[in-house]
Amino acid sequence: MRILLVEDEDAIAEPLADGLRREGFSVVRAATGGAALEAGETDLVLLDLRLPDIDGLDVCRRLRERSDVPIIVVTARGEEADRVVGLELGADDYVVKPFGLRELIARIRAVTRRTSERGHAHEPLAVGGLEIDERARRATLDGRALDLTPKEFDLLAALARDPGAAVSRRRLLEEVWETTWYGSAKTIDVHVAALRRKLGDPGWIETVRGVGFRLRAA
């Protein structure tokens, strides 16, 4: 997932960008509203409101006028009026500083799920001959149904949402097992091994050393 981080303060932007990258996200930073409006397409926008050139609420409005990209406002402006205006202008969520990285990532996941369901109407995920229908909880490979356990299915779907991208172990624990307890990390390896057997080719799921796993892009 490619995230546009709109934040003018280096002391906030740099550690936040580093934390997001450690979780497997690609991060592009814009330090001004003008730069944010000129940035290329991304999958999600984290938007500060106190920018040096353009008010963040105006940036939010202008982004929403031209795109359905998910927008999470991340700001120290926690007044109710700002929250209401931000959401009415098209922001999908509003996070007040200070916040924890874990909370922000959880909100990113929630917003991404909501907007994906809204925009794609439960369209099946397709990667080469692999097709995953999350609504029906059915997976097929070259037309052959895969006999997956519930957790195997959830793990495969989590990887297939962004084929070719490295997905961290922490992220998989949060999305599939709804925990951040690293004592559960070995269970990921067990389920990945089972999926590789059932897919018939271990190359479908690649290990990214020190990070996690990625599904081979078609």
- Report the CATH number at residue 154: 1.10.10.10
What is the mean predicted confidence (pLDDT) over 156-166?
Answer: 91
3-24 pLDDT per residue, tens? 999 999 999 999 999 999 998 8
d(Cα 71, Cα 68) in Å, to the nearest integer?
9
pLDDT bucket at 39, cuts 50 / 70 / 90: very high
The answer to whether residues 28 and 61 belong to one domain is: yes
**Higher local confidence (pLDDT), 141 or 135:** 141
The answer to whether residues 108 and 195 belong to one domain is: no
The answer to whether residues 13 and 115 belong to one domain is: yes
Say yes or no to pLDDT of 60 above 70: yes
Beta strands across the sheet bearing 26-30: 26-30, 2-6, 44-47, 71-75, 93-96
Q: Identify the domain containing residue 151 by its residue range.
A: 125-215
The answer to whether residues 44 and 20 belong to one domain is: yes
pLDDT given at position 132: 94
Taking alpha carbons only, the member of 118, 109, 117 closest to residue 134 is 117
Q: What is the pTM of this model?
A: 0.58
Q: Is the peptide bond before 70 cis (omega within 30 degrees of 0)?
A: no
The answer to whether residues 161 and 196 belong to one domain is: yes
101-115, 130-144, 168-182, range with greatest mean pLDDT:
130-144
Write down which residue in 119, 149, 184 finishes a domain.
119
Mean pLDDT across the chain, nearest whole number?
Answer: 88
The answer to whether residues 18 and 106 belong to one domain is: yes
Say yes or no to pLDDT of 122 above 80: no
pLDDT given at position 187: 83
Number of folded domains that form the chain: 2
Write down which residue in 119, 143, 165 finishes a domain.
119
What is the mean predicted confidence (pLDDT) over 147-156?
Answer: 90
Block residue for tokens 């925009």: 119
